[in-house]
Structure 1
Amino acid sequence: MRIVMATQNANKVREFAQLLGSRVDLVLLPSDLPKAPETGETFLDNARQKALFYARYVEDPVLADDSGLVVPALGGEPGVHSARYAGEGADDRANNDKLIRALRAKGLRAADAWFACALVVAHKDQVLVEVEARVDGMVHDAPRGDRGFGYDPLFSPHGEARRFAEMSSEEKHRFSHRARAVRELVERLPFVIDREGRSSTGENALS
């Protein structure tokens, strides 16, 4: 089964492909499409906007996610602005640096935080399924590790001293918000996919 992921971030597609396994052929969004709006007040709002927007342009179902880090001590920042916390086009390092400065401005070396992930699958003009998941932990004022992406060097899940960026992909998937959301997504998809990527009725899934 082929699904288009609503992103040009190859790291994100790679991580989701690992989580979904061989049941899904996950591909990057075509690069010539306009940018979807992300004006929602919640992660789920933004994921839904993106999925429905890009489903108008491609034949295959679209999987959109909106993920981010929430730090209550910072008033919920960076929240839905996680990917552009340091400004439009900001890279991971700039976003991490801004978060570190915000923590230190509050006199914090670490603070409670959680990663959230909302996933929406849409086909044409219809939302097929939407789920949300989160992982609680701590955010720190100094990065560690060189794996992962985003805020992974600053975040450690509860029960682990290591940051996400210090874990292998398999170790991170035991905790991560994306892994939890994908597991729920697979359970709630409105069809049953067998090993060949076909529905339980023998029809092509989502055909």
Structure 2
Amino acid sequence: MNKSLFGALLASSMVMTAAQAADYSIDTHGAHASIQFKVSHLGYSFVVGRFNSFSGDFSYDASAPQASKVAVKIDTNSLDSNHAERDKHLRSSDFLNTGKFPEASFVSTGVESQADGTLAITGQFTLNGVTKPLVIAANVVGEGQDPWGGYRAGFVGHTEFALKDYGISYDLGPASSKVQLELVVEGVRKQ
């Protein structure tokens, strides 16, 4: 093999290696991640809550964010709005139908850097047995070494969706037709 061809192949492999995203596990064990929801209550106030149990992984490289990926699974039975009777109703067939669909999920299909520095994470969101495209607007919080010898990366994301898009038709009025989700994700790089 001639030297210039070998050099070109070596340079090409170095660029591909540099653009490889690192793999992370979302740190739910240390409670450094959360999925919170917010829904207007009749237009007068808000019901806020969270999912206490979820897991996931992501890949990220700051120099090539388009190579990033994320996959999250949510235990819908872990819904917690700090009100036991309301939580029971939200888990019922009127809303999340957790007896039939105990898991929600998000799997990314693409990541794009936006002009304002945010990331648009496009993916398939499954809730109540329905899968539809969803876009999460995400901000990089930071990344670096932790005090325990690991490496971490963190993000905050926001999205909104209509309940009816996921087969939830319980009518609380037009002000309560959409759910806002906030995701705080801190991942520990896999070895």
Q: What TM-score comes out, normalization by structure 2 length?
A: 0.26
Which of structures 1 and 2 has the bigger CA Rg?
2
Q: Which has the higher contact order (CA 8 A, sep 6+)?
A: 2
Q: What TM-score comes out, normalization by structure 1 length?
A: 0.25
Larger helix proportion, structure 1 or 2? 1
Larger strand proportion, structure 1 or 2? 2
